[in-house]
Structure 1
Amino acid sequence: MKKVIILFSLMMAALSNGQNQRFIYDYKFITDSTARDKQESETMYLEVTSKGSKFYSKDYFESDSTMQAIVAKDTQSLNINLGNFKFKGRIRYNIEKMYPDYSTNFFTTLGSDEYQVQENRKQSWKILPEKEKIGEFNAQKAVCDFAGRQWTAWFTTDLPIQDGPYKFYGLPGLIVKVEDHTRSHVFELKASKKLPAAYEWKSTKDKERYHPLITISEAKFKKAFNDYRLDPMKGQKQMLAQGTIIEMRDSSGKVLDPVKASRDQETKAKANIKRQNNILEIDLLK
């Protein structure tokens, strides 16, 4: 316990006086176990401040910011048009850890619903003697079981920050690389930079949204997650049943028949979900 307290004090000292840091990770992932040759990659940010950390996709954050600006502008003219807008990035979640207790919240969406899930599981790390050079850092090996997978992490005490990518934390130094035993999901630190002096840490739960944020337990989220996989268009069907008019257009701007368009959308959504059989938290599917 003394070691943890000392390291946390060092971390606070390192992050004081505006020394907030953004750690840039490359996330390589295979979500379809039947197509292991189709590995994808996404740039992820871990932003660390004295208050806590945030982990999210660079591309998705930029797309979301652009969409919010479009909506804010079009709202004034009462003509919101997102017909040609396309989100970048495959990773649609973000994760917040609050210091010093590392309470972790997972923010994600299922259809049009946005969820906040309190993470209660803890990682029980076993630190091993093996050491290796990861990028520019001298790192040490640790292993744990988490979310239905066996994980190997490499951490460096050169950066006395007990944090890491995704929901991982709790080692005596920053996690610079972590991968599951099948190498389906690999996070590796590639760079870091100081955040601007004016940077202000804001929680995702406090952002403006048009539908209320759903705060939910892990068990209830697992049910909602699997219900969504069975019927990804449930929310839209309910809107149509209530008389809501949903106008859909193709790439040329032509108005589509809402029933047929919804049916086609459902077929595509279910095909995509079927391919998502090797997700990071594989225990969600069990």
Structure 2
Amino acid sequence: MKKMIIVFAAILSMGSYAQNQRFVYEYKFVKDSTARDETKSELMFLDTAPKGSKFYSHEKYVSDSLREERIKIGGRNFSGINFDFVPFVIEKSYPDYNTVFYGSLDMDQYKVSDGRVQNWKIVSDKAKIGDIEVQKATLDFSGRKWIAWFAPDIPIQDGPYKFHGLPGLIIKIEDQTQSHSFTLKETKKLSKNKEWQSESEKKNSKQFINVTPEKYKKQFLESRNDPAKGLKEMASGSNKIMLVNESGKPLDISEVIREREKNAKAANAKDNNILELDLLQ
């Protein structure tokens, strides 16, 4: 990782500053509240362009690219590709900051428009992160209390994940339990030739199920309670499915379902400290 850029040579207008910039954040999180010493870390990109921003995992970007290359040449073997990454993608449109969450549950992909108002409380506390002058703000959001440090001299009202609306770029934000934190580590200028594409544009928009946050929460809880529901429905449908392994050998669908349920429930038990805690409530 390159050293954090701590001095911004020029303060530009919000419109010009938002064009083709990449803000690289380190996301640290604790998945299991009973094992708080086990912290995971992942690099996340906030790519900004005149029409909006996209927030996503660096590992997801690499994994998706490799998988798509193999699919194009008819490959079925995805060994060596890392699938252990933060899976969601967040998009915000400018200047209204309409926020859209893209994520998967079971065998379906969802598109969730999140119009919740973020009622920030800006306080007088000021500090420095590196050489960046920052100011403190607090927020109750998604079942957690958040503390943010934003840079008034960087005139873009955006930040990691769904966070936005402060009068300056969010440099660091952390929840009160210190379970989830995002810290700016680097900035890059992206090529003007790099066309910003939303997930809906990049993929077939029909792949996504458009739901409200309330409907997504219902589906989220159903998926945790019955993690093999999609496979069961496919197996019991009129069009029978056949699953094969990397060598093309048919698999026993009943055994696959049992294994999916076992593994998913074990994983969920250790994933009890999710970012949006109110999804479990």
TM surpasses 0.5: yes
Q: Structure 1 unaligned runs (5+)?
A: 1-8, 75-79
* Deviation (angstroms), 1:134: 1.2
CA contact (8 A) 1:46 1:54 kept: yes
Which residue pairs with 1:269 in the alignment?
A: 264
Aligned length, in residue pairs: 269
Give the drift of 1:36.
Answer: 0.7
Where does the alignment leave 5 or more consecutive residues of structure 2 unmatched? 1-11
Match of 2:13 in 1: 10
- Decide which of 164, 171, 195 is 1:169's aligned counterpart: 164
Quote how far apart the aligned CAs of 1:133 are: 1.1
Which residue of structure 1 lines up, in the alignment, with residue 105 of structure 2? 110
Mapped to 1, the partners of 2:106 and 2:154 lie a distance apart of: 38
**What is the CA deviation profile of residues 40-71 of structure 1, one whole-angstrom value per residue up to 9, with x for unaligned ones?**
00000001111100000000111012212222
Partner SS state of residue 162, structure 1 = coil
| Greater CA drift, 229-238 or 258-267 | 258-267
Residue in 1 that maps onto 2:187: 192
Answer whether contact 2:67 2:78 (CA < 8 A) is retained: no
User: Residues 85 and 234 (structure 1 numbering): CA distance in 2 closer, same or farther, change over 3 Å?
Assistant: farther
Structure 1 residues 75-120: Cα deviation after superposition (integer angstroms, max 9, x where no partner):
xxxxx51453643442100000000010000000012211000001
**Mean alpha-carbon deviation: is it higher for 178-187 or for 270-279?**
270-279
SS for the counterpart of 1:206 is: helix
Distance in 2 (CA, whole Å) between partners of 1:270 and 1:247 is 22
Offset at residue 264 of structure 1 (A):
1.6
**Residue of 272, 275, 284 corresponding to 2:279:** 284
- Residues 85/68 of structure 1: CA separation in 2 closer, same or farther (3 Å cut): same
Would you say 1:246 and 2:249 are equivalent positions? no
Indicate how the Cα distance of structure 1 residues 149 and 210 shifts in structure 2: closer, same or farther if over 3 A, else same: closer
Q: Aligned partners of 1:271 and 1:209: how far apart in 2?
A: 32
Q: Deviations over 1:248-277 (max 9, x none)?
A: 438x88654332232122100111112111
Q: Percent identity?
A: 47
- Report the RMSD for the aligned CA atoms in angstroms: 1.9
CA deviations over 1:130-164 (Å, ceiling 9, x no partner): 11111231111000100010000000022111000
Q: Separation in 1 of the partners of 2:84 and 2:186?
A: 19
Other-structure match for 2:123: 128
Secondary structure of the corresponding residue to residue 268 of structure 1 = helix
Measure, in 1, the Cα distance between the counterparts of 2:205 and 2:229.
18
Equivalent AA in structure 2 for residue 47 of structure 1: D
- What letter matches 1:42 in structure 2? E
2:47, 2:55 within 8 Å by CA — same for their partners in 1? yes
Q: Which residue of 2 aligns with 1:39?
A: 39
Which residue of the partner structure matches residue 4 of structure 2? none
Aligned-partner Cα distance in 2 for 1:30–1:57: 17
Q: Is the 8 A contact 1:160 1:173 kept in 2?
A: yes
**Does structure 2 retain, via aligned residues, the 8 Å contact 1:232–1:266?**
yes
CA distance in 2, matches of 1:213, 1:58: 22
Equivalent position amino acid for 1:245 in 2:
I
